Amino acid sequence: MPPLSGTPGALIGATVGTLTGGLAGNSAAEAVNHTAEELFWRETSVQEPYYVNGRNFEYYAPGFRAGWEGRVRHDGRSFDAAEPDLKAAYKLTKGELAPDWQDVRPAPRAAWDRVDRGWKGKL
C-alpha cells in the first residue's frame, strides 16, 4: 500500500468536506417530513381555493405528494420548469381512478410552495 500523501490537515479537511457535502444533500430530503405534510394537507385541503365540495383528501393526495416530493427532488428549479417531471411522476404513482394532472394541478403547486416557504423561513 503506498504511503498517504498530503498534510494531515488536508486529509482531514477533505474528509470533513465530503461528510458535510453528503449531509447537506440529505438535509434537503430530511427537511420535508412526509407524515407531517400528509397530516397538514389532510386537515387543511378543504380550505384551499381550488377545493371542490365533495372531493375528499384522497382525491388530491397524489397531487400533494407529487408537489412536496418534487420540491425536494427538483431543488434549484421552479415549479414551472419541473412540472413536466412532476406530472410524469404523478402519472406513475396515482391510482387507476385518480384524476388527471390538470384536475389536481393546484394541489401539487400548493404543496411545492408550502415546502418552498418552509425552506426560505429556515435560511
**Is residue 17 scored above 80 in pLDDT?**
no
Q: Where are the domains of the chain?
A: 33-121
pLDDT for 86 beyond 80: yes
- What confidence category does residue 32 fall into, taking pLDDT thresholds of 50, 70 and 90? confident
d(Cα 49, Cα 76) in Å, to the nearest integer? 27
Q: Which pTM does this prediction carry? A: 0.72
Say yes or no to pLDDT of 8 above 50. no
> Which cell is 86 given?
412532476
**Residue-level pLDDT at 94:** 85
Q: Tell me which DSSP letter residue 4 carries.
A: P
pLDDT at 3: 47
Name the more confident of 5 and 80: 80
